[in-house]
Structure 1
């Protein structure tokens, strides 16, 4: 357990440092790492027509509530727009604006790539491949835990108040 504790503590530190140093890398563009993640998700070929708020939240592994505030700020800044989904009027579709695409492709991406080079300094392609492999394994296991926790929570709320 001591080794596991060290792994997860270092993962926590890495997440915090990613937010801190990554946000600094794109702050001149008015972006944070969260906004960079949203623009990155929306820039994928699979998201060409936009993504529903729910799908975007699931893809980024964040709550709809946290994403909603983030999307509102990005909409205010002109990076994204939201509109009712033509296939499901209850759902809102998030798409990148022309301004958002310019910020992403022209301004932010070169700085993000330079950031990656700095942070991955001393890593071989093999190191990066192994790191990705293990992070994906962790993510899969965490998703199973999250799914199981959600099922337990759902069963408790379905049971009603305790007698």
Structure 2
């Protein structure tokens, strides 16, 4: 597995999720399985089947999160010195050239991406178009709605 880029905040969120999965969700589902088992015949026990399915999901997610954390390349945006260049972890102020709308995005790892919170995945078409650009540069992005152009107004490392 290749390195998984994460910001410090993103890595902390994954650690919190892993802790919750192991200390809250896993014990709960074990209790639910025991309770369903106590009801008798397992062949026609929907509660047991649901609890076992949930257990499989939790165990799979624990493995996935542990794998991502073990392969994480944690990047602290505040320690970056990219001379004003758009890089992973940077926060960018952009202006849509067609509409004139101003937007702010931070380039983050896939697991951290949340467009409503202004976080775009490093693998998204927009982030790929922005990587390497400086303030004043224009990035062209192919979107489902057609070609869009964004001017990089400011690059910050927060």
Specify the TM-score bucket, using the shorter chain as the normaliser: under 0.3
* TM-score after normalising by structure 1: 0.23
Q: Which has the larger radius of gyration?
A: 2
